[in-house]
Homo-oligomer: A and B are copies of this chain.
Protein backbone atom coordinates (compact mmCIF):
# COMPACT_ATOMS: atom_id res chain seq x y z
CA UNK A 1 0.00 0.00 0.00
CA UNK A 2 1.43 3.30 -1.11
CA UNK A 3 0.44 5.78 1.56
CA UNK A 4 0.83 8.66 -0.89
CA UNK A 5 -1.92 7.20 -3.06
CA UNK A 6 -4.98 9.35 -3.56
CA UNK A 7 -8.44 7.92 -2.98
CA UNK A 8 -10.50 7.11 -6.06
CA UNK A 9 -7.56 6.51 -8.33
CA UNK A 10 -6.70 3.22 -9.93
CA UNK A 11 -3.15 1.92 -9.75
CA UNK A 12 -2.47 3.01 -13.30
CA UNK A 13 -3.88 6.47 -12.70
CA UNK A 14 -1.76 6.82 -9.58
CA UNK A 15 1.27 5.95 -11.66
CA UNK A 16 0.38 8.67 -14.16
CA UNK A 17 -0.11 11.14 -11.35
CA UNK A 18 3.29 10.32 -9.91
CA UNK A 19 4.95 10.63 -13.29
CA UNK A 20 3.56 14.14 -13.62
CA UNK A 21 4.76 15.14 -10.15
CA UNK A 22 8.23 13.72 -10.79
CA UNK A 23 8.50 15.51 -14.12
CA UNK A 24 7.24 18.76 -12.62
CA UNK A 25 9.62 18.82 -9.65
CA UNK A 26 12.55 17.85 -11.85
CA UNK A 27 11.83 20.56 -14.40
CA UNK A 28 11.17 23.12 -11.68
CA UNK A 29 14.59 22.33 -10.20
CA UNK A 30 16.40 22.22 -13.55
CA UNK A 31 14.76 25.08 -15.40
CA UNK A 32 12.91 27.16 -12.85
CA UNK A 33 9.21 27.73 -12.48
CA UNK A 34 8.46 29.76 -15.60
CA UNK A 35 10.61 27.77 -18.01
CA UNK A 36 9.01 24.53 -16.84
CA UNK A 37 5.92 24.89 -19.00
CA UNK A 38 2.90 22.68 -18.57
CA UNK A 39 3.52 21.34 -22.07
CA UNK A 40 7.09 20.43 -21.12
CA UNK A 41 5.99 18.84 -17.84
CA UNK A 42 3.25 16.83 -19.53
CA UNK A 43 5.63 15.85 -22.32
CA UNK A 44 8.32 14.74 -19.87
CA UNK A 45 5.72 12.68 -18.03
CA UNK A 46 4.58 11.13 -21.30
CA UNK A 47 1.03 12.45 -21.19
CA UNK A 48 -0.95 15.11 -22.99
CA UNK A 49 -1.16 18.66 -21.75
CA UNK A 50 -4.83 18.31 -20.96
CA UNK A 51 -4.24 15.18 -18.95
CA UNK A 52 -2.01 17.03 -16.52
CA UNK A 53 -5.06 19.18 -15.78
CA UNK A 54 -7.07 16.07 -15.03
CA UNK A 55 -4.85 15.47 -12.01
CA UNK A 56 -3.87 19.03 -11.10
CA UNK A 57 -6.27 21.89 -11.49
CA UNK A 58 -3.49 24.37 -12.18
CA UNK A 59 0.25 24.78 -12.37
CA UNK A 60 0.19 26.22 -8.87
CA UNK A 61 -1.49 23.07 -7.70
CA UNK A 62 1.67 21.18 -8.57
CA UNK A 63 3.49 23.30 -6.02
CA UNK A 64 1.40 21.91 -3.19
CA UNK A 65 3.22 18.68 -3.93
CA UNK A 66 6.48 20.53 -3.39
CA UNK A 67 5.19 21.80 -0.05
CA UNK A 68 4.26 18.32 1.08
CA UNK A 69 7.58 16.74 0.11
CA UNK A 70 9.57 19.61 1.59
CA UNK A 71 7.85 19.28 4.92
CA UNK A 72 8.35 15.52 4.98
CA UNK A 73 12.05 15.98 4.19
CA UNK A 74 12.36 18.67 6.83
CA UNK A 75 10.68 16.60 9.52
CA UNK A 76 12.97 13.70 8.68
CA UNK A 77 16.04 15.91 8.73
CA UNK A 78 15.18 17.14 12.24
CA UNK A 79 14.30 13.78 13.73
CA UNK A 80 17.69 12.92 15.17
CA UNK A 81 18.28 16.33 16.65
CA UNK A 82 14.84 16.55 18.27
CA UNK A 83 15.26 13.09 19.77
CA UNK A 84 18.71 13.78 21.14
CA UNK A 85 19.04 17.43 22.10
CA UNK A 86 17.14 19.16 24.89
CA UNK A 87 18.52 22.67 24.94
CA UNK A 88 16.05 25.08 23.40
CA UNK A 89 18.52 27.17 21.40
CA UNK A 90 20.16 24.15 19.85
CA UNK A 91 16.79 22.63 18.96
CA UNK A 92 15.49 25.77 17.31
CA UNK A 93 18.75 26.51 15.53
CA UNK A 94 19.06 22.98 14.19
CA UNK A 95 15.46 22.84 13.09
CA UNK A 96 15.55 26.09 11.15
CA UNK A 97 18.97 25.35 9.66
CA UNK A 98 17.77 22.00 8.40
CA UNK A 99 14.75 23.70 6.84
CA UNK A 100 17.12 25.82 4.80
CA UNK A 101 19.22 22.74 4.00
CA UNK A 102 16.13 21.06 2.57
CA UNK A 103 15.04 24.08 0.57
CA UNK A 104 18.44 25.04 -0.81
CA UNK A 105 18.37 22.89 -3.98
CA UNK A 106 15.19 24.71 -4.95
CA UNK A 107 16.39 28.24 -4.32
CA UNK A 108 15.96 29.59 -7.85
CA UNK A 109 12.63 27.84 -8.19
CA UNK A 110 11.34 28.85 -4.78
CA UNK A 111 12.06 32.50 -5.46
CA UNK A 112 9.75 32.32 -8.43
CA UNK A 113 6.89 30.61 -6.68
CA UNK A 114 6.95 32.45 -3.39
CA UNK A 115 5.36 35.28 -5.29
CA UNK A 116 2.29 33.14 -5.73
CA UNK A 117 2.40 32.20 -2.10
CA UNK A 118 2.00 35.82 -1.11
CA UNK A 119 -1.32 36.11 -2.92
CA UNK A 120 -3.87 35.80 -0.12
CA UNK A 121 -6.58 34.35 -2.31
CA UNK A 122 -4.16 31.79 -3.71
CA UNK A 123 -4.42 28.29 -2.31
CA UNK A 124 -0.64 28.42 -2.08
CA UNK A 125 -0.58 31.07 0.57
CA UNK A 126 0.80 29.68 3.82
CA UNK A 127 -2.24 31.23 5.50
CA UNK A 128 -4.82 29.74 3.17
CA UNK A 129 -7.28 26.96 3.92
CA UNK A 130 -5.73 24.70 1.31
CA UNK A 131 -2.35 24.95 3.02
CA UNK A 132 -3.72 24.45 6.51
CA UNK A 133 -2.64 20.81 6.65
CA UNK A 134 0.92 21.72 5.72
CA UNK A 135 0.83 24.69 8.08
CA UNK A 136 -0.45 22.65 11.00
CA UNK A 137 2.25 20.08 10.38
CA UNK A 138 4.92 22.76 10.40
CA UNK A 139 3.58 24.36 13.55
CA UNK A 140 3.50 20.93 15.18
CA UNK A 141 7.22 20.64 14.49
CA UNK A 142 7.88 23.88 16.37
CA UNK A 143 5.60 22.71 19.15
CA UNK A 144 7.93 19.77 19.47
CA UNK A 145 10.94 22.08 19.43
CA UNK A 146 9.43 23.86 22.42
CA UNK A 147 7.93 20.93 24.29
CA UNK A 148 11.03 18.75 24.11
CA UNK A 149 13.27 21.47 25.47
CA UNK A 150 14.39 22.16 29.01
CA UNK A 151 13.63 25.87 28.69
CA UNK A 152 11.30 27.51 31.18
CA UNK A 153 8.62 29.30 29.25
CA UNK A 154 5.99 31.74 30.42
CA UNK A 155 2.75 29.90 30.95
CA UNK A 156 0.68 32.34 28.92
CA UNK A 157 3.15 32.17 26.08
CA UNK A 158 3.31 28.39 25.77
CA UNK A 159 0.14 28.06 23.72
CA UNK A 160 1.19 30.70 21.19
CA UNK A 161 4.92 30.12 20.98
CA UNK A 162 4.83 27.30 18.39
CA UNK A 163 2.94 29.51 15.97
CA UNK A 164 5.24 32.43 16.70
CA UNK A 165 8.28 30.24 16.04
CA UNK A 166 6.70 29.12 12.78
CA UNK A 167 6.24 32.78 11.85
CA UNK A 168 9.89 33.31 12.72
CA UNK A 169 10.83 30.48 10.36
CA UNK A 170 8.72 32.10 7.63
CA UNK A 171 10.70 35.27 8.14
CA UNK A 172 13.93 33.31 7.77
CA UNK A 173 12.63 31.72 4.58
CA UNK A 174 11.68 35.15 3.26
CA UNK A 175 15.24 36.31 3.92
CA UNK A 176 16.57 33.15 2.24
CA UNK A 177 14.49 33.84 -0.85
CA UNK A 178 16.24 37.19 -1.19
CA UNK A 179 19.66 35.84 -0.23
CA UNK A 180 22.11 35.87 -3.12
CA UNK A 181 25.24 35.08 -1.08
CA UNK A 182 27.20 31.92 -2.02
CA UNK A 183 25.62 28.83 -0.50
CA UNK A 184 23.22 31.22 1.26
CA UNK A 185 25.75 31.68 4.06
CA UNK A 186 24.05 34.90 5.11
CA UNK A 187 20.83 33.07 5.84
CA UNK A 188 22.71 30.66 8.10
CA UNK A 189 24.41 33.62 9.75
CA UNK A 190 20.99 35.21 10.26
CA UNK A 191 19.78 32.06 11.96
CA UNK A 192 22.82 31.81 14.19
CA UNK A 193 22.45 35.46 15.17
CA UNK A 194 18.70 35.54 15.74
CA UNK A 195 18.17 32.26 17.59
CA UNK A 196 19.98 33.56 20.72
CA UNK A 197 17.86 36.71 20.51
CA UNK A 198 14.69 34.64 20.38
CA UNK A 199 15.97 32.55 23.25
CA UNK A 200 16.70 35.64 25.32
CA UNK A 201 13.34 37.22 24.55
CA UNK A 202 11.59 34.07 25.70
CA UNK A 203 13.52 34.21 28.97
CA UNK A 204 12.78 37.88 29.40
CA UNK A 205 9.10 37.25 28.79
CA UNK A 206 8.94 35.76 32.30
CA UNK A 207 10.36 38.88 33.91
CA UNK A 208 8.11 41.59 35.32
CA UNK A 209 9.13 44.31 32.84
CA UNK A 210 8.02 42.36 29.83
CA UNK A 211 5.35 40.14 31.28
CA UNK A 212 2.65 42.75 30.81
CA UNK A 213 3.61 43.36 27.21
CA UNK A 214 3.71 39.65 26.49
CA UNK A 215 0.27 39.21 28.00
CA UNK A 216 -1.09 41.94 25.77
CA UNK A 217 0.58 40.42 22.77
CA UNK A 218 -0.99 37.04 23.50
CA UNK A 219 -4.37 38.69 24.00
CA UNK A 220 -3.94 40.46 20.68
CA UNK A 221 -3.17 37.19 18.92
CA UNK A 222 -6.32 35.68 20.41
CA UNK A 223 -8.47 38.58 19.39
CA UNK A 224 -7.16 38.67 15.84
CA UNK A 225 -7.66 34.96 15.44
CA UNK A 226 -11.32 35.41 16.51
Q: Using a CB–CB distance below 8 Å, which chain A residues touch chain B?
A: 111-112, 114-122, 127, 175, 177-178, 186, 189-190, 193-194, 196-197, 200-201, 204, 207, 209-210, 213, 216-217, 220, 223-224
In the complex the two chains form, what is the Cα distance from A116 to B122 in whole Å? 12
Q: Apart from A204-B210, A204-B213, what 10 extra A-B contacts exist at CB < 8 Å?
A: A114-B118, A114-B120, A115-B119, A117-B118, A118-B118, A120-B178, A127-B178, A189-B224, A193-B216, A196-B216
Q: Is the CB of B224 within 8 A of A190?
A: yes
* Contact A189/B120 with A207-B209, A209-B204, A209-B207 known, Cβ cut-off 8 Å: no
For the residues of A in contact with B, the DSSP-based class is: helix
Closest to A110 in B: B120
Residues of B near A119 (CB, < 8 A) are 111-112, 114-115
Residues of B near A114 (CB, < 8 A) are 118-120
Q: Is the CB of B220 within 8 A of A201?
A: no
Smallest distance from the beta carbon of A129 to chain B beta carbons, Å?
Answer: 12
Residues of B near A213 (CB, < 8 A) are 197, 200-201, 204
Residues of B near A223 (CB, < 8 A) are 189, 193
Smallest distance from the beta carbon of A193 to chain B beta carbons, Å?
Answer: 5
Smallest distance from the beta carbon of A184 to chain B beta carbons, Å?
Answer: 13
Those 9 A-B pairs whose CB atoms lie nearest each other, nearest first:
A118-B118, A115-B119, A120-B178, A115-B118, A193-B220, A120-B177, A115-B115, A111-B120, A200-B213
Smallest distance from the beta carbon of A95 to chain B beta carbons, Å?
Answer: 20
Closest to A204 in B: B209
Central interface residue in A115, A116, A117, by most chain B CB within 10 Å: A115
Residues of B near A189 (CB, < 8 A) are 223-224
